[in-house]
Amino acid sequence: MTDRTFSVAVAGASGYAGGEVLRLLLRHPNVEIGALTAASSAGSRLVEHQPHLTPLHDRVLVETNADTLGGHDVVFLGLPHGQSGAVAATLTDASLVIDLGADHRLESAQDWTDYYGGDHAGTWPYGLPELITADGRQRDALAGVDRIAVPGCNVTAVTLGLQPAVDAGLVDATDLVAVLANGFSGAGKAPKQHLLASEGLGSASAYGVGGVHRHNPEIVQNLRHAGASDVTISFTPTLVPMARGILATATARLTGDPAAVRAAYESAYADEPFVHLLPEGIWPSTAATLGSNNAFVQVAVDERAGRLVTVTAIDNLVKGTAGGAIQSMNLALGLPETTGLPAEGVAP
């Protein structure tokens, strides 16, 4: 543990992910917020984009480049997919660089080409501390690293829902189905017709249907780390009229003892500070996670269908993005993992 203060820069500070990183950093006792950068918004004040961040109202956004980001202990990259790699390549190894985008998540260059296109920027240590691996948990691989790739928000929810059963050998990982209800903030701030209030309010719509969503290979990658020799998943996200949150319902063909299911989840998450298996009969809701770094999980066995059913709720901007990033930052810097992170939600 250290009482050192770390200087932190945030690229993409005008966006949802960048704004949420800043909200959480403002409560972090070991952080001093440095440069805030943007692209088209450079030159404007942060208050024009993040009016809820009162202590930073007068800060002016500057251009995103090596000069403005360099010299900081930690740099968060909240940039569109495909842009983080080039920026990260200009930063010195002395900085801890944390990519909130997808550029460095995938281990397979072919997966990157298939789902994102272009050249693969390389693979960084993966920022999901709770991920089950052959060596234990991913948190053990984050101590002292200088690069971290933050998971996709959908990936976090589906992985946390399924990995205990995969690790325990209770399910057939080649027969997985996940359907998610997603808040609109997960699509970013870009002005697109289907994201307008007049289009989204009172409506639910699917997207990324038929195995084309970019989070598919990342989910497969994680569940292989959790012990599956092969993974096949049908993954379908849907937009629902809420600003934040993901409710992930995932099912798998049960191959092990149904009576062993709950014990596997209890064992997997008993010591996790932010992942909570709810008492039997209580089901996760996105509202309960609002503003917190929590993930709530529940499991059931559908005996007639012979399937395991898991439901996981997270706040996509906290545990799904900024909270997971800061949790990983804490581990990399030798700080207590929970430092600065909210463990309580906001209700109603």
| Percentage of residues in the chain having pLDDT higher than 90 | 92
CATH number, position 193: 3.30.360.10
**Is 343 inside any structural domain?**
no
Q: Using the predicted structure, report yes or no on whether residue 225 has a pLDDT greater than 90.
A: yes
Looking at every residue in the chain, the average pLDDT score rounds to: 95
**Is 345 inside any structural domain?**
no
Q: Are residues 29 and 130 in the same domain?
A: yes
145 is in which domain, residue-wise? 6-151+319-333
Residue 172: predicted pLDDT: 98
CA gap 19, 53 in Å, rounded = 8
Residue 234: predicted pLDDT: 97
Residue 289: predicted pLDDT: 98
Residue 194: predicted pLDDT: 80
| Pairing relationship of beta strands 171-182 and 233-239 according to DSSP bridges | parallel
Average pLDDT for 206-212? 93
- DSSP one-letter string for 132-162: EETTEEGGGGTTT-SEEEPPPHHHHHHHHHH
Q: What is the sign, positive or negative, of the torsion defined by CA atoms of 256, 260, 266, 268?
A: negative
Q: Are residues 163 and 307 in the same domain?
A: yes
**Is 338 inside any structural domain?**
no
- Token pair 């932010």 in the structure block, residue: 274
Q: Are residues 107 and 236 in the same domain?
A: no
Q: What is the count of structural domains for the chain?
A: 2
Residue 191: predicted pLDDT: 75
Q: Using the predicted structure, report yes or no on whether residue 47 has a pLDDT greater than 80.
A: yes
Which range (76-80, 138-142, 199-203, 303-307) has the least confidence?
199-203
Q: Using the predicted structure, report yes or no on whether residue 2 has a pLDDT greater than 80.
A: no
Contacts of 16 (CB under 8 A, 6+ apart): 185, 188, 189, 317
Q: Are residues 221 and 144 in the same domain?
A: no
**Is 32 inside any structural domain?**
yes
Torsion of CA 120, 121, 122, 125, to 10 degrees: -130
CATH number, position 129: 3.40.50.720
Q: Are residues 253 and 159 in the same domain?
A: yes
Catalytic member of 9, 25, 153, 158:
153
CA gap 140, 126 in Å, rounded = 11
- DSSP one-letter string for 76-127: EE---TTTHHHHHTTS-TTSEEEE-SSTTT-S-HHHHHHHT-S-------B-
52-74 per-position pLDDT tens digit: 999 999 999 999 999 999 999 99
Q: Are residues 127 and 183 in the same domain?
A: no
Q: Length of the chain in residues, anyone? A: 348
* Omega cis (within 30) before 348: yes
Residue 197: predicted pLDDT: 78
Q: Are residues 133 and 26 in the same domain?
A: yes
**Is 347 inside any structural domain?**
no
The phi and psi torsions of 186 (rounded to 5 degrees) equal -65, -20
Q: Using the predicted structure, report yes or no on whether residue 93 has a pLDDT greater than 80.
A: no
**Is 98 inside any structural domain?**
yes
Q: Are residues 295 and 325 in the same domain?
A: no
CA gap 99, 76 in Å, rounded = 6
The continuous run of DSSP H or E covering 77 comes out as strand 74-77
**Is 165 inside any structural domain?**
yes
Q: Are residues 72 and 197 in the same domain?
A: no
Q: Are residues 178 and 125 in the same domain?
A: no
Residue 1: predicted pLDDT: 58
Verify whether residue 303 is a known catalytic residue: no
Highest-scoring range by mean pLDDT, 86-95, 181-190, 299-308: 299-308
What 3-state class would DSSP assign to 40? Answer: coil
CA gap 76, 329 in Å, rounded = 10
**Is 196 inside any structural domain?**
yes
Residue 28: predicted pLDDT: 98
Enter the tokens of residue 324. 């997971």
Q: Are residues 203 and 285 in the same domain?
A: yes
135-144 per-position pLDDT tens digit: 999 999 999 9
Helix axes 261-269, 153-167, angle to 10 degrees: 120
Enter the tokens of residue 93. 């190894």
Q: Are residues 301 and 182 in the same domain?
A: yes
The rounded Cα 169 to chain-centroid distance in angstroms is: 25
